[in-house]
C-alpha cells in the first residue's frame, strides 16, 4: 500500500508556511512567481506538508553508541519529545547569538540559518561535519568519524574543533561529544602516505607513531628500507600555493606579463612578481624553521594493505603529493587560459585540496551543473604533471577532452582518448589520458591496440587521477583502478555522495575523505545554478488500469507508468511549457513507455539503442531548432548531458527509490542558460500514479533533494486538462486498447527481461553482463505480438526520430508540416 500523506493544511501554520511551494526557501519573490506562473496548470489545494521535513531529522549516520541519558526536566510537553528531550542542557546566557544546538546522544548539530553568525558557523561546520539537510531556516549536520577525519586532513586540530564548536553552541559542549571528538581525532593526520621521487613513504612528525606502526605484525614486515631509525626531512611548507584561475594567480600573472609604464609601476610589478616567485619556490632559508618529519619506505604493491591496516588500527593514512618537489615526473605544459576564472566555491573546494602546498587526495562534492569539470581541470593545471581522467561513459570522455581544450592552453596533441573507438596515447613525455572505468579495468579480451595503451598507462606514474561520478563506481572496480594506475593523487568528483547500497564508506578508504561539499540553495541564489520549482503530479489510475494493477502478481511498474491519466498529464504539461517557450526533457527509465509516449506525441526520443549519429542529430535539433522543443530520454540522459537550453523536466518513469537518479535528473535543468534572466525558474515535474507503489518510491527519491532545500509541491489536478483539444486516451475504448498492448508488453518482457543496455555506459554494461537478458525492442515484434489493427499503439508507428533523420526531401516536408502547424496554432485554427 502507498504511504498515507498528511494534508499539510492540517499540519498547522508553520507547516503551511514551510511547504507552500517554497523551493528556493529564502526567497519570498520566487514563491509569488510560482503561484502566478503555474496558475494555469497547477492546483494549490494540496501543498506538500511537513512529512519530508520530519523525515530528514531521522537521517543519521552517527555510529557512536548512545550514552545513558542524564535526567531530563520533565514538563507537560516532554512526552512529545520522548528520548529526544534535551531540556536538561543548560543554555548559555547569550544563547540567542549562538547558532548551534548539539544533540549529545547522536552527534547531530542543528544550525539556525537566521543567526548573525550563520555564515561563519556554516564555513566551520562544512569542514567538520556531514551536511544532512539544508532547508531554509534550519540546517542539520552530523559529526561522524569520517567527517572528523576530513577536518583533520584539512589542517584542523582537536582543540580547534572543540573550541570553535563551544563558541558557536547555545549550550556547553556535551561531554559525550567532547569525548567523541577527542577519540576520533586523536590519531587522525598523524601519519601520511607520501610519494617522493616515485617511492612511497609513510611519514609522521612523531617518531613514536612510526614505531607503533613498525611493531604492527602486518605493517612491520612491509617496510622496504632496512636501515635503523627513520629518514628525516623538513615538513612541507603550509598554505602558500596559488591556484590558477583565482584572483591571486591572475594578479601575479598580470604583474609579470604586463609591460610596466613607468619606474614606479615597474617597481610594483617587480615586487609582486618576486613575492609570488618566493611563494611558489619554497625559499630555502625558511626550511630551517620548519618542523622535521620522519618516514620509512614501503613498496608500491603494499600501499593498499598498509592503508587498510592503518585504518583498522585507527591510524588512517592521509595521502598527499608533494608535486612541486617531484623531479622524477615530467612537467606538463598546462595552465588555465587567461579568460578562465574559477568561481569562489570552486576556489574554496580546491583550496581544501591544495591547502598545505601539496595535493591531498579526496572527494569534492558540487551540485550537477556547478562545474566539477573545471575544478578537475584547475587541479590538473595546479599539479602540472601527467593526468588520467576516468569517466562513466564514452560520451563523457569526449566532453572532458573538449572541456580541457576549452578552459586550458594545453596542446590538443597532449590529450589522448582511450575508449572502444579511440585508442590514442600522447607522443610527448607526459600528457593527459581520458578514458572510462570499464576500459581501464577490463580484464580479458583486449585487442592488441587496447593492450598497448593499457601497458602505457600501467607502466608510468601519473600526477593526478581524476575520478568522475565517483559515487557510482563499485568498490571492486576502484580497487582494480588503483592497482593498475599509479597516481600520486586522486580527486573524486560527484554531485551526490550517496549510494543506495551504503558502500559510500569505501570511498574514504579508496580515494580519500570528502574535502568539500557545496550548498545547492546558495549556489542557486548566486545564479550559478538555476532556481527550480519542483512538483509531484498525482495522476489517478483509470479503473481498468487499477483493477489490473491490483490483480497482477508482479511486474506492475509498466501499469503505473502507462496509466492513461499520467500520459494525459504529460501531454498537457508538454503543451503548456512549450507554449511558454520552455525546452522540455521527458525522462523515462522504461524504454517501452519512452517509445510509446514519444511516438504517440510525435516527439523525438533517445535511448541506449539509438545510434550515435541519430542522438547527436536529435540533440542538435533540440538545442537549435525552435520547432523541436521536447525530447524524450531514457536513463542514458541521467548524467553528463550538457543541454543548457533545457528549462523543464518531466519524469514519467524512474529507477525505484533512487535518490541519486532524482538529483542527477534535476541536474539536467540546473545548468539552464536562461538561469540569470529576471524571474526565471526551471521546472521539475515527477508524474506519479496515485495509490500505487510509485508514490512510495517517489517520496524516497525526493529525500536527498528535500535535504538540499527543495520543496516538492503536490499537484492533484492540472487546471484546464479536461478542456485540452486532442487529449489522448479520452475514450474508454482507447484506454482499453492501451491496456491490452501494455499487458502484451508485460508478457513479452517477462520472458525477455527489460534491462536497457547502454553502449559505453559503465553501469548498464555491468548489469547487461551480470544481470538479466536485455529486451529486444522492435516495432515489428510489438505489432506481431498485438496482432490487432485497431490497437492504440499502431498509431505510435510514426516516429519523430525518423522524420528528423529523414533524407533531404523528407526532412523538408517535416519542417514544412511543423511550420504549418505552428502557423495554424498562431492563427487559432
Q: How far apart are CA 729 and CA 570, in angstroms?
A: 12
For ligand ATP, which residue of 216, 331, 333, 642 counts as binding (CB under 6 A)?
Answer: 642
Q: How far apart are CA 130 and CA 108, in angstroms?
A: 9
Minimal distance, residue 479 CB to ligand ATP, in Å: 24
* H helices present in 44-88, as ranges: 51-56, 78-81
Query: Counting Cβ atoms within 10 Å, is residue 45 exposed (0-12), middle (13-18) or buried (19+)?
Result: exposed
Question: Which region among 340-348, 572-580, 619-627, 677-685 touches ligand ATP (by CB under 6 A)?
Answer: 340-348
The residue (of 374 and 628) whose beta carbon lies closer to ligand ATP is 374
The residue (of 324 and 372) whose beta carbon lies closer to ligand ATP is 372
Minimal distance, residue 466 CB to ligand ATP, in Å: 11
The residue (of 683 and 796) whose beta carbon lies closer to ligand ATP is 683
Q: Give the list of residues 6+ apart from residue 173 with CB closer than 8 angstroms, or none.
A: 102, 162, 165, 166
Q: Are 78 and 72 in contact (CB under 8 A)?
A: yes
- Segment 584-603, which members bind ligand ATP (CB under 6 A)? none
The residue (of 310 and 368) whose beta carbon lies closer to ligand ATP is 368
Place of cell 610596466: 260
- Could you give the count of Cα atoms lying within 13 Å of 515 in the half-sphere of its Cβ? 31
Question: Which region among 62-70, 136-144, 342-350, 509-517 touches ligand ATP (by CB under 6 A)?
Answer: 342-350
Q: How far apart are CA 185 and CA 155, in angstroms?
A: 12
Q: Are 821 and 829 in contact (CB under 8 A)?
A: no
Minimal distance, residue 499 CB to ligand ATP, in Å: 16
- Segment 662-721, which members bind ligand ATP (CB under 6 A)? 667, 671
Q: How far apart are CA 161 and CA 577, in angstroms?
A: 50
Minimal distance, residue 671 CB to ligand ATP, in Å: 5
343: contact with ligand ATP by CB under 6 A: yes
Q: Give the list of residues 6+ apart from residue 464 with CB closer than 8 angstroms, or none.
A: 321, 359, 379, 380, 383, 385, 386, 387, 388, 487, 488, 489, 490, 491
Minimal distance, residue 377 CB to ligand ATP, in Å: 9
* H helices present in 424-503, as ranges: 437-441, 448-458, 475-484
Angle at 162 between CA 159 and CA 168, to 5 degrees: 135
Between strands 461-467 and 387-391, the pairing is parallel
The residue (of 496 and 702) whose beta carbon lies closer to ligand ATP is 496
Minimal distance, residue 371 CB to ligand ATP, in Å: 3
The residue (of 366 and 470) whose beta carbon lies closer to ligand ATP is 366
The residue (of 391 and 738) whose beta carbon lies closer to ligand ATP is 391
Residue 84 cell numbers, joined? 529526544
Minimal distance, residue 403 CB to ligand ATP, in Å: 7
The residue (of 241 and 641) whose beta carbon lies closer to ligand ATP is 641
Q: How many residues does the chain have?
A: 829
Minimal distance, residue 598 CB to ligand ATP, in Å: 23
Minimal distance, residue 372 CB to ligand ATP, in Å: 4
Helix, strand and coil content of the chain, in percent to the nearest 5, comes to 45, 15, 40
640: contact with ligand ATP by CB under 6 A: yes
Question: Which region among 91-99, 337-345, 564-572, 629-637 touches ligand ATP (by CB under 6 A)?
Answer: 337-345
Question: Which region among 4-12, 271-279, 338-346, 790-798 touches ligand ATP (by CB under 6 A)?
Answer: 338-346
The residue (of 395 and 804) whose beta carbon lies closer to ligand ATP is 395
Q: Are 525 and 675 in contact (CB under 8 A)?
A: no
Q: 3-state class of 366 per DSSP?
A: coil
Question: Which region among 37-45, 335-343, 437-445, 624-632 touches ligand ATP (by CB under 6 A)?
Answer: 335-343
Angle at 802 between CA 801 and CA 808, to 5 degrees: 120
Minimal distance, residue 664 CB to ligand ATP, in Å: 7
Minimal distance, residue 365 CB to ligand ATP, in Å: 10
Could you tell me how many residues of this chain bind ligand ATP (CB under 6 A)? 17
Minimal distance, residue 118 CB to ligand ATP, in Å: 25
CB atoms within 10 A of CB 556: 18
Q: How far apart are CA 65 and CA 733, in angstroms?
A: 61
Q: Are 663 and 712 in contact (CB under 8 A)?
A: no
- Segment 364-393, which members bind ligand ATP (CB under 6 A)? 366, 368-374
Angle at 435 between CA 449 and CA 242, to 5 degrees: 130
The residue (of 99 and 369) whose beta carbon lies closer to ligand ATP is 369
Between strands 191-196 and 231-234, the pairing is unpaired
Question: Which region among 97-105, 327-335, 363-371, 674-682 touches ligand ATP (by CB under 6 A)?
Answer: 363-371
The residue (of 629 and 640) whose beta carbon lies closer to ligand ATP is 640
Question: Which region among 274-282, 336-344, 348-356, 716-724 touches ligand ATP (by CB under 6 A)?
Answer: 336-344
The residue (of 471 and 556) whose beta carbon lies closer to ligand ATP is 471
Q: How far apart are CA 460 and CA 453, in angstroms?
A: 11
Minimal distance, residue 662 CB to ligand ATP, in Å: 13
The residue (of 523 and 711) whose beta carbon lies closer to ligand ATP is 523
Q: How far apart are CA 279 and CA 275, in angstroms?
A: 6
Minimal distance, residue 640 CB to ligand ATP, in Å: 5
Q: 3-state class of 539 per DSSP?
A: strand
What is the chain's Cα-based Rg?
Answer: 29
- Written as one string, the DSSP assignment of 395-408 is HHHHHHHHHHHHHB
337: contact with ligand ATP by CB under 6 A: no
The residue (of 184 and 382) whose beta carbon lies closer to ligand ATP is 382
**Whose CB is nearest to ligand ATP?**
371
The residue (of 126 and 493) whose beta carbon lies closer to ligand ATP is 493
Minimal distance, residue 813 CB to ligand ATP, in Å: 35
Which residues are at the interface with ligand ATP (CB under 6 A)? 341-343, 346, 366, 368-374, 495, 640, 642, 667, 671
Amino acid at each position: 500500500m502507498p504511504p498515507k500523506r498528511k494534508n499539510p493544511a492540517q499540519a498547522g501554520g508553520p507547516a503551511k508556511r514551510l511547504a507552500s511551494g517554497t523551493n528556493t526557501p529564502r526567497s519570498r519573490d520566487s514563491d509569488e512567481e510560482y503561484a502566478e506562473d503555474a496558475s494555469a496548470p497547477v492546483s494549490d489545494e494540496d501543498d506538500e506538508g511537513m512529512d519530508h521535513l520530519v523525515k530528514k531529522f531521522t537521517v543519521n549516520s552517527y555510529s557512536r553508541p548512545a550514552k545513558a541519558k542524564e535526567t531530563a526536566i520533565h514538563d507537560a510537553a516532554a512526552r512529545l519529545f520522548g528520548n529526544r528531550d534535551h531540556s536538561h542542557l543548560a543554555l548559555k546566557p547569550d544563547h540567542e547569538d549562538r547558532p548551534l544546538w548539539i544533540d549529545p546522544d547522536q552527534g547531530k548539530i542543528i544550525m539556525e540559518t537566521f543567526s548573525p553568525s550563520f555564515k561563519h558557523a556554516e564555513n566551520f561546520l562544512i569542514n567538520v561535519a556531514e551536511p544532512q539537510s539544508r532547508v531554509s531556516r534550519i540546517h542539520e549536520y552530523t559529526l561522524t568519524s569520517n567527517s572528523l577525519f576530513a577536518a583533520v586532513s584539512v589542517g584542523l586540530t582537536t582543540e580547534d574543533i572543540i573550541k570553535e564548536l563551544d563558541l558557536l553552541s547555545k549550550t556547553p559542549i556535551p561531554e559525550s561529544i567532547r569525548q567523541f571528538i577527542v577519540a576520533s581525532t586523536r590519531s587522525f593526520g598523524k601519519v601520511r602516505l607520501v610519494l617522493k621521487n616515485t617511492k612511497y613513504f609513510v611519514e609522521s612528525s612523531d617518531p613514536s607513531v612510526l614505531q607503533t606502526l613498525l611493531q604492527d605484525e602486518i605493517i612491520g614486515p612491509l617496510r622496504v628500507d632496512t636501515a635503523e631509525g627513520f629518514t628525516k626531512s623538513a615538513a612541507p611548507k603550509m598554505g602558500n600555493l596559488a591556484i590558477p584561475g583565482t584572483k591571486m594567480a591572475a594578479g601575479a600573472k598580470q604583474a609579470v606579463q604586463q609591460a610596466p609604464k613607468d619606474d614606479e609601476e615597474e617597481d610594483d610589478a617587480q615586487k609582486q612578481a618576486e613575492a609570488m616567485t618566493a611563494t611558489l619556490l619554497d625559499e630555502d632559508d625558511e626550511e630551517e624553521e620548519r618542523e622535521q618529519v620522519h618516514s620509512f619506505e614501503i613498496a608500491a604493491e603494499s600501499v593498499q594493505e598498509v592503508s587498510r591496516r592503518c585504518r583498522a588500527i585507527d591510524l588512517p593514512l592521509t595521502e598527499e603529493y608533494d608535486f612541486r618537489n617531484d623531479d622524477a615526473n615530467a612537467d606538463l605544459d598546462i595552465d588555465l587560459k587567461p579568460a578562465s576564472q574559477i568561481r569562489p566555491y570552486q576556489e574554496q573546494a580546491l583550496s581544501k585540496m591544495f591547502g598545505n602546498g601539496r595535493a591531498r587526495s579526496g572527494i569534492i562534492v558540487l551540485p550537477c551543473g556547478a562545474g566539477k569539470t573545471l575544478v578537475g581541470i584547475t587541479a590538473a593545471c595546479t599539479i602540472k604533471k601527467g593526468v588520467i581522467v576516468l569517466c562513466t561513459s564514452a560520451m563523457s570522455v569526449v566532453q572532458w577532452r573538449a572541456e580541457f581544450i576549452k578552459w586550458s592552453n594545453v596542446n590538443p596533441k597532449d590529450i589522448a582518448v582511450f575508449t572502444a573507438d579511440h585508442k590514442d596515447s600522447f607522443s610527448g613525455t607526459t600528457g593527459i589520458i581520458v578514458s572510462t572505468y570499464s576500459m581501464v579495468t577490463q580484464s580479458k579480451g583486449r585487442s592488441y591496440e587496447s593492450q598497448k595503451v593499457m601497458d602505457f598507462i600501467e607502466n608510468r606514474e601519473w600526477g593526478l587521477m581524476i575520478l568522475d561520478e565517483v559515487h557510482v563506481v563499485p568498490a571492486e572496480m576502484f580497487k582494480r583502478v588503483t592497482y593498475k594506475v599509479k597516481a600520486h593523487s586522486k580527486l573524486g568528483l560527484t554531485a551526490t555522495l550517496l549510494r543506495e547500497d551504503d558502500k559510500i564508506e569505501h570511498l574514504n578508504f579508496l580515494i580519500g575523505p570528502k574535502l568539500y561539499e557545496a550548498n545547492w540553495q546558495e549556489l542557486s541564489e548566486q545564479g550559478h545554478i538555476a532556481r527550480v520549482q519542483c512538483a509531484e503530479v498525482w495522476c489517478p489510475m483509470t479503473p481498468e488500469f487499477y483493477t489490473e494493477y491490483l490483480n497482477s502478481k508482479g511486474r506492475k511498474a509498466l501499469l503505473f507508468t502507462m496509466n492513461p491519466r499520467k500520459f494525459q498529464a504529460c501531454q498537457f504539461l508538454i503543451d503548456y511549457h512549450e507554449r511558454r517557450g520552455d525546452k522540455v526533457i521527458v525522462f523515462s527509465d522504461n524504454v517501452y513507455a519512452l517509445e510509446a509516449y514519444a511516438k504517440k506525441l510525435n516527439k523525438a526520443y533517445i535511448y541506449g539503442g539509438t545510434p550515435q549519429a541519430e542522438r547527436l542529430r536529435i540533440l542538435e535539433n533540440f538545442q537549435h531548432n525552435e520547432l523541436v522543443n521536447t525530447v524524450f530520454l531514457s536513463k542514458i540522459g541521467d548524467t553528463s548531458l550538457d543541454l543548457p537550453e533545457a528549462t523543464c523536466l518531466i519524469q514519467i518513469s524512474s529507477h525505484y527509490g533512487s535518490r541519486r537518479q532524482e538529483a542527477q535528473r534535476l541536474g539536467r535543468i540546473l545548468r539552464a542558460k536562461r538561469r540569470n534572466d529576471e524571474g526565471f525558474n526551471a521546472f521539475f515535474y515527477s508524474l506519479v500514479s496515485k495509490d500505487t507503489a510509485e508514490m512510495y518510491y517517489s517520496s524516497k527519491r525526493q529525500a536527498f533533494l528535500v535535504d538540499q532545500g527543495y520543496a516538492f509541491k503536490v499537484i492533484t489536478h492540472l487546471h484546464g486538462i479536461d478542456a485540452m483539444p486532442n487529449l489522448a486516451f479520452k475514450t474508454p475504448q482507447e484506454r482499453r486498447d492501451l491496456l491490452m498492448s501494455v499487458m502484451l508488453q508485460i508478457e513479452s518482457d517477462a520472458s525477455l527481461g527489460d534491462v536497457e543496455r547502454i553502449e559505453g555506459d559503465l553501469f548498464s554494461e555491468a548489469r547487461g553482463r551480470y544481470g538479466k537478458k536485455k529486451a529486444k525492442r522492435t516495432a515489428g515484434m510489438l505489432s506481431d505480438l498485438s496482432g490487432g489493427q485497431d490497437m492504440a499503439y499502431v498509431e505510435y508507428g510514426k516516429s519523430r526520430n525518423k522524420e528528423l533523420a529523414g533524407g533531404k526531401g523528407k526532412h523538408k516536408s517535416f519542417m514544412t508540416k511543423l511550420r504549418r502547424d505552428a502557423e495554424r496554432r498562431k492563427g487559432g485554427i
